């Protein structure tokens, strides 16, 4: 069984879309995505520096567009995935839940790109209201890590798997946590500009809910794991509701991986810009094969990987 997963914010790197734009057809697709998301994806995906694309308003459309672009290059769509039946499921980490919902058929590409433009700008605005951020706490004992996060006045925004919880909150709290890390744990600042998946994003959640009111989602045609709780959620309105609520709720990627294990997933394919979720799977889903799409050179391997794990 195959799980197709879409990465979240922080997975973008400077110039990561450059190899994809050699092909005129792919460049045309990205230009159409740029128009729908009202973001200059070509410039920011090829020449903009790391600091520029760290901006939430740019990072989120880039990541969603990249996942959809690589899915197209692999011939992945709701129609093709439906043909695999129960041999495939999709999921996304944080903002990756939007392209995942698109691949599952709950949203169209246009709906996804318009929605991400609103989500990104609203979250950037909320982040600018007060200096906040996120840091991964790697290692340690989970109970002690959670206690240290709470003691620093922070929230556990992402539970990514064994040995990794992401703390979020104000800069003072993040500094305090870094200076007093839990035993046998490291605190690693993340390339994001706000305390996502916490109440600091309440204003963004309100704006996203308003935008979602104008969208008519459809039911997913394949298994779609929600990162709220790892549940397979296919009813269209529930999928959209969870995407909205996710802005202020913790991401439970650990529960998504637990569901993948329970469902008998044998292979995890991470779409562009791949790498982060494959890394988590190697620790949390030992023995499950994985492959990350990082450049067009990976497409043939990815096609073979899809065929192997849906046979």
- Residues taking part in catalysis: 94, 197
User: Could you tell me the CA-to-CA distances from 140 to 119, 183, 186, 250, 251 in Å, in that order?
Assistant: 33, 6, 8, 20, 20
Q: Which of 168, 67, 68, 56 is nearest to 118 (CA)?
A: 56
Question: Which residues, listed in sequence order, are joined to residue 5 by a DSSP beta bridge?
Answer: 91, 270
CA distance 82 to 183: 47
Query: Which DSSP state fits 21?
Result: G
CA distance 258 to 11: 22
Say if residues 195 and 168 touch (Cβ distance below 8 Å): yes
Backbone angles phi, psi at 159, to 5 degrees: -110, 100
CA distance 194 to 204: 12
Residue with tokens 């246009």: 110
Q: Could you tell me the two tokens for 74?
A: 């692999």
Q: Could you tell me the two tokens for 3?
A: 């799980």
Burial environment of residue 203 by CB neighbours within 10 A (0 to 12, 13 to 18, 19 or more) = middle
CA distance 217 to 198: 25
């Amino acid at each position: 069984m195959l799980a197709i997963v879409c990465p979240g914010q922080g997975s973008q790197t400077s110039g990561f879309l450059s190899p994809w734009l050699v092909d005129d057809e792919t460049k045309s697709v990205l230009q159409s995505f740029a128009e729908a998301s009202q973001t200059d994806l070509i410039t920011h995906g090829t020449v903009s520096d790391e600091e520029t694309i760290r901006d939430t308003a740019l990072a989120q459309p880039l990541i969603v567009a990249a996942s959809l672009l690589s899915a197209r290059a692999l011939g992945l769509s709701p129609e093709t995935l439906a043909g695999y039946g129960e041999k495939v499921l999709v999921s996304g980490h944080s903002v990756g839940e939007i392209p995942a919902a698109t691949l599952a058929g709950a949203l169209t590409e246009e709906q996804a790109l318009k929605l991400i433009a609103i989500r990104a700008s609203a979250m950037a605005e909320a982040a600018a209201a007060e200096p906040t951020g996120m840091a991964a706490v790697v290692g340690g004992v989970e109970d002690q890590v959670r206690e240290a996060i709470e003691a620093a006045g922070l929230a556990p925004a992402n539970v990514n798997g064994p040995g990794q919880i992401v703390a979020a909150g104000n800069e003072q709290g993040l500094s305090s946590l870094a200076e007093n890390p839990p035993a046998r744990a490291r605190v690693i600042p993340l390339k994001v500009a706000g305390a996502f998946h916490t109440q600091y994003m309440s204003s963004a959640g309100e704006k996203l809910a308003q935008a979602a009111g104008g969208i008519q989602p459809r039911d997913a045609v394949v298994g779609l794991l929600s990162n709220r709780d790892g549940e397979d959620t296919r009813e269209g309105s529930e999928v959209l509701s969870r995407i909205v609520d996710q802005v202020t709720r913790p991401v439970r990627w650990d529960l998504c991986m637990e569901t993948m294990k329970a469902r008998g997933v044998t292979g995890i394919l991470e779409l562009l810009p791949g790498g982060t979720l494959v890394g988590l799977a190697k620790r949390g889903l030992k023995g499950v094969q994985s492959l990350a799409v990082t450049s067009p050179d990976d497409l043939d391997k990815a096609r073979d990987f899809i065929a192997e794990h849906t046979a």
